[in-house]
Amino acid sequence: MEYKNIKIVSDDITRINVSGKNFTIIGTAHISQKSADLVKKVIEEEKPDTVCVELDKQRYEALSNKKRWQELDIKEIIKNKQLTTLVVNLILASYQKKLGKKLGVSPGTELLVATQVAQDNNIPIVLCDRDVKITLKRAWNKMSLFQKLKFLFSGLAGVFEKQEITEEELEKLKEKDILNELMAELGKVMPVLKEVLIDERDTYITEKMRNAEGKNIVAVVGAGHVKGIIEKLKSAQTFDLEEIVQIPPPSPLLKIIGWGIPAVIIGSLIYIGFTQGILAAKANSLFWILANGIPSAIGAIIALAHPVTIISVFFAAPLTSLTPVIGAGYVAAFVQAYFSPPKVKEFETLTDDFNKISMWWKNRLLKVFLVFILTSLGSALGTYVGAYKIISNVF
């Protein structure tokens, strides 16, 4: 594989010939009207054989289907234990939308424009980004528990931050690929995120571009990906995508800990029963129930959850804490969604309400998230307190 004639046409456009294929790469800012106009102009002038766009099927449907949030099946998401992934997705979407409102253009407009112009000119489209769910799951599974908590809390803090952006800063933002800027910043704090969110996607996008039909290809990608894509196109190396589309299994250590803690608790209770008597075992069992149930129920109360949710999580937490299969937060979230289902209008205003702390208690869908988060924290606290007390009673 050889390349030649790399030509930087402008700050936004790079041309490169690889093995007889001509690639015109447009590096865009995801909330820039200028980028959208440039994309339309280049595609109409070039009339390429194929247009490659930095989108996966899910993100494409999200951009083209304005009613996507209304179509969410929250109960199914909870059953599949995907609430955390959805919250992460919402953090990114809300951040972009907040900036997009200030700049007067919706996030991802230039990507949608690329698909629309291609369709208008009967040009085949290749959605060349990796499935966003795979990307988020790979990133999530590679993070430690501390990194996960740090990411969620820093992400939520950024969403709720009320700091105003100056006109000068707005102008600078217009020249950037905001989503990839955000991911790059996260990558500095957590290198594992940069590897998954940027580097792996550079590889995936490059291979999809290489395999696109035709000799004249226009690729519309975030500016943050251009450098990585060019380097990989120049390389003689081809990449097997199979490895980076797999969801890495949880760490064996986490699995051992997940089953080990319940085994230690149950074993300790049995040991106490044999050595100190059945009454001591009952007293410790009651302490375990209260230590788990009360903090979890308090979390649900703080979230102003449905009364049935509060009662359910009180009794569920002591049991879910003894198995890694399902957490108290998911039980509470499912019960909350069942007895207080979100209204259609709350799906419609989801990304706007997400940025307002008070709306997490008013929007029923956000309240499901709030119930999940607070009861999970309560259960984690209760597990620590209960385990410490019971194990200390063994010695």
pLDDT at site 124: 95
> Whole-angstrom Cα distance, residue 241 to residue 237?
13
Q: Give the global pTM.
A: 0.67
Closest by Cα among 65, 69, 52 to 111:
52
Among residues 63, 50, 57, 339, the alpha carbon closest in space to that of 220 is found at 50
Q: What pLDDT, on the 0 to 100 scale, is given for residue 125?
A: 95
pLDDT for the residue numbered 170 = 44
Q: Sign of the CA dihedral 68, 69, 70, 72? A: positive
- Cα separations in angstroms, 390 against 272, 313, 385, 386: 9, 21, 9, 6
Per-residue pLDDT at 289:
94
Spell out, as residue ranges, where the chain has pLDDT lower than 70: 1-10, 30-32, 65-73, 81-82, 84-107, 150-190, 236, 250-251, 254, 344, 346-348, 351
pLDDT at 218: 95
Could you tell me if 362 and 319 are in contact, meaning their C-beta atoms sit under 8 angstroms apart?
no
Question: pLDDT at position 365, please?
Answer: 85
